[in-house]
Amino acid sequence: MCGLVGWIGENFKDSTLNKIQLSLSHRGPDDFGKWVDYSKKICLLHRRLSILDISKNGRQPMVSSSKRYVLTYNGEIYNHLDIRKSIKNYKWKSSSDTETLLVGLELWGFKKTLQKIKGMFAFSVFDKELDKLFLIRDRVGEKPLYYGWQGKSFIFSSELKAITKHPSFLKNIDHKILYHFVKHSNIPAPYSIYKGIKKLNPGSFLTFCLKTKNIKVEKYWNVYDFVPGKKDLFKGTIEDAQNQLEILIQNSVKQQMISDVPLGAFLSGGIDSSTIVAILQSMSTKPVRTFSIGFENENFNEAPFAKQIATHLKTEHNELYVNPKDVLKVIPDIGEIYCEPFSDSSQIPTYILSKFTKKHVTVALTGDGGDELFGGYNRYLFANQLWSKISSTPIWTREIIKNFSQNLSPEFINLMLSPIKFFLPDNYKINLIGDRVLKGLKIISVKKNLELYKNLISHSNFTDQLLAKNENYQSVIDNNYNDKVFENDFIHKMMIYDFLDYLPNDILVKLDRAAMACSLETRVPFLDRDIIEFAWKLDLGCKIRGDKGKFLIRNILQKYIPKSLFERPKMGFGIPLASWIRGPLRDWAIDLLNEQQLSEEGFFNPKFVKKLLNEHLSGKRNWESVLWDLLVFQSWLKRS
């Protein structure tokens, strides 16, 4: 795991190079390397976190034996040892996967090498013979890669912070990107917060020609190639599917166990992380180091469950209990950790867990990706049931209900529903339920099921009122999403939508930046290429049974630990934002959302924001998600 940065154009002074590479030192604290061709005006810099071959033989930028290719690389090629076995009569100079990648490029060429490698990666390759620079990002988007023109320089980097240190950087914030940010807490590829700077999409490679300055972006892997018609579905029994999936997970974990530095795993106590840890422990000759964090608030605390599972599996378990003060200390650093506005509130516990884990190991396996591939989110079932009821109701009836709901207040709905809350199960006793009911009523007239889902997962349906400039923006996911796939399977349609949007733009961003800020490498076994391609060929019945998702994963996990240790309601990895904004974060929130300051900056509608903040602070409404988006943006803006 490392950090890379480079550019074609101007400014190659040592002082400039040093300032830029130091901005990525957290991604690579162990070593620094540079390669500059002054005649061609190209510079490649690299910060190294040594994982495989920790000697100087693995230093980057690395030049191929023929001197044709120069490589800067961030990530891991998990099958690089298998690739080496297929290469005969070559004298290896190191045991690093960087050298494996370079030799592959020389033997097979660019596209064939991409087809062979499995892993998480973002890398740049300069081809001296063709005078072309190639930028490549892994299939799912585990590793980040930004690029773009700034003045007369074409710059690329693992993180925005390195680009902002370049003398040519133009600090132009893209207003229209805020439309997506305040709806979904993130800025999706291929966009960034700054004009002129993009993220390379997952499964893509970019070609930059030094002579013509032309840029071309192409896909080398597309999940739609593995989404089958009925004839292509997995043909075996449920038992066959379970056995094959278990073998694939075992193979993935086995490859991702390879490390020349201490390795462990995150263990939340949920199904996904427990499955990874159980299989990891079954393959290890000694107790695996596992890590979890706990909270004083029982509604957010999974640590006791994680401890029970760790005890059963006999791992070397480490847990850290944090209080509100510990969490609040992290908040001022969010803008620095994430480079651009990012406001999934589970970013904070993820960072704290990463910092705690790094004290013991350098590599940690995680259970991310299981929900999107195997139907783990509760919202899939809820949205499917809701659409079933909505779509059976005539559109004119739904329009009447929607228009009528516009005259209702959340306070009125809360009052009407309060008598029945006493009889509801605890997990349905939602405070301020009126807001949720109104949100549902306002989207009741949607005509397509995916439109319903996108409204359900958004933070607000009043984005136009929230923004100072009404620059409508539609996420790239909408432009690239193939609505014809899974046309009659709404749940799979939601899953693939999340796989293409929520997973790379939220989950994997949160994980990469939080861990790398602590110089910790995280690996995600569920996102192995073979598992992904197999998962999309499975019938929905292999994923969801009754009211529970991850059917096959549950069955596999039950072979390693008792069902009683993991069968419980799903719990998010979050923090009690609503009460904190009213309590310990109150003054901070009021200061950042100052009406005059918002008016001078020109990003948000100050009067509307003031209304939301006052309603939330008074307890009249719960606007925690929207306010957190605004607060994170304002905090980032203040630091940038």
Tell me the percentage of the chain whose pLDDT exceeds 90: 65
Q: What is residue 476's predicted lDDT score, i.e. its pLDDT?
A: 52
429 falls in which pLDDT band (50, 70, 90)? very low
Q: Say how far apart CA 504 and CA 489 lie, in whole Å.
A: 23
Average pLDDT over residues 349-360: 96
Residue 401: pLDDT over 70: no
Q: Say how far apart CA 314 and CA 285 lie, in whole Å.
A: 12
pLDDT in tens, 269-285: 899 999 999 999 999 99
Q: What is residue 427's predicted lDDT score, i.e. its pLDDT?
A: 44
Residues 158, 24: contact at Cβ < 8 Å?
yes
Q: What is residue 192's predicted lDDT score, i.e. its pLDDT?
A: 96
pLDDT in tens, 117-143: 999 999 999 999 999 999 999 999 999
pLDDT in tens, 431-466: 556 566 666 666 777 888 898 999 889 888 788 889
Q: Which amino acid is at 343?
A: S
Structure tokens at 75: 């990530």
User: In 10 A of CB 226, how many CB atoms?
Assistant: 15
| Residue 288 DSSP class | P
Q: What is residue 228's predicted lDDT score, i.e. its pLDDT?
A: 67
DSSP per position, 46-92: EEE---SS-SGGG-SSEE-TTS-EEEEEEEEETTHHHHHHT--S---
Q: What is residue 410's predicted lDDT score, i.e. its pLDDT?
A: 60
**Would you name the residues annotated as active-site residues?**
2
Average pLDDT over residues 173-189: 91
Q: What is residue 464's predicted lDDT score, i.e. its pLDDT?
A: 82
Q: Say how far apart CA 221 and CA 138 lie, in whole Å.
A: 9
**Which among 8, 539, 481 has a CA at the least distance from the CA of 238?**
539
Q: Say how far apart CA 524 and CA 508 lie, in whole Å.
A: 9
Q: Residues in the chain, how many? A: 640
Average pLDDT over residues 47-75: 85
428 falls in which pLDDT band (50, 70, 90)? very low
**Which among 152, 201, 150 has a CA at the least distance from the CA of 172?**
150
**Which among 139, 225, 141 has a CA at the least distance from the CA of 190?**
141
Residue 597: pLDDT over 80: yes
Structure tokens at 639: 């630091």
**Which among 10, 65, 62, 77 has a CA at the least distance from the CA of 31?**
62
